[in-house]
Amino acid sequence: MKKIISMGLLLLMLPFSSAIADRGKVGTWNPTAPSPFNPPPSFEEILKDYRNTWIRLTSLEFSGLHWNQGIVVYINKHHKVFINNYIYYLQEIEGLSEYEDCDIEEDEDCETPFKTYPVGTIVLKENFALANGVPTAPLTVTLMRKRDPGYDPEAGDWEYVQYDPQGHLVLQGNTQNPAVKAACSECHENLASRDFIFSTFYTPQNAKRIPDK
């Protein structure tokens, strides 16, 4: 019964996402157009044509967590981990979760339904300025890349990167970098149980076109 209720919550959220997407097509964001963000030279090969070759997890969404910007989230692979964590996030906020809450940083035996991302996973977020729900300008791209074990073990071994539309790096590194910690990881550290990735939006139809890999 709880799983049925949770899927019902998921379906209830879809009309809102679709409405935001329709408004977004009027402005700067268009999912079929080339990205307005030029990647930094060191990321050109990694991010080549990501809009067409990666999995788009969301439509344009309003995010109060990101300074009231519009965001669109892509992932290069392992999108089923994101979907799993999104569903259990819904269960958690609705009090429907069946697992015992515990602190994974303090309890080695802590078990949660949330999954971790394999090495090489990249979660990329396009950020847009909004006016009345319509995107007016591309602002930045922020991404998290799962690095090899030991890169930053206390923070999930994630590398944080941010760049502007012209491809200028704004920041890059892990939690040892004070700029990264202040701008990114201090928020993400509250999501250790979800492998430090926000999974609060998901528009399912966007992930069906590419098999999981």
pLDDT of residue 38: 96
Q: Which residues form the domain of 173?
A: 2-98+112-207
What is the rounded distance in angstroms from the CA atom of residue 94 to the CA atom of residue 106? 25
Q: Is the pLDDT of residue 129 over 50?
A: yes
Q: Is the pLDDT of residue 16 over 50?
A: no
Average pLDDT over residues 130-146: 93
Q: Is the pLDDT of residue 208 over 70?
A: no
Residue 7 lies in a domain: yes
Residue 167 lies in a domain: yes
Residue 9 lies in a domain: yes
116 against 212, higher pLDDT: 116
What is the domain-level CATH number for residue 137?
Answer: 3.50.70
Residue 106 lies in a domain: no
Q: Is the pLDDT of residue 93 over 80?
A: no
Average pLDDT over residues 135-152: 96
pLDDT of residue 213: 53
Residue 93 lies in a domain: yes
User: What share of the chain has pLDDT > 70, as a percent?
Assistant: 74
Q: Into how many domains does the chain fold?
A: 1
Q: Is the pLDDT of residue 63 over 90?
A: no
pLDDT of residue 113: 85
Residue 188 lies in a domain: yes
Q: Is the pLDDT of residue 47 over 90?
A: yes
pLDDT of residue 15: 36
Residue 6 lies in a domain: yes
Q: Is the pLDDT of residue 104 over 60?
A: no
Residue 105 lies in a domain: no
Q: Is the pLDDT of residue 202 over 70?
A: yes
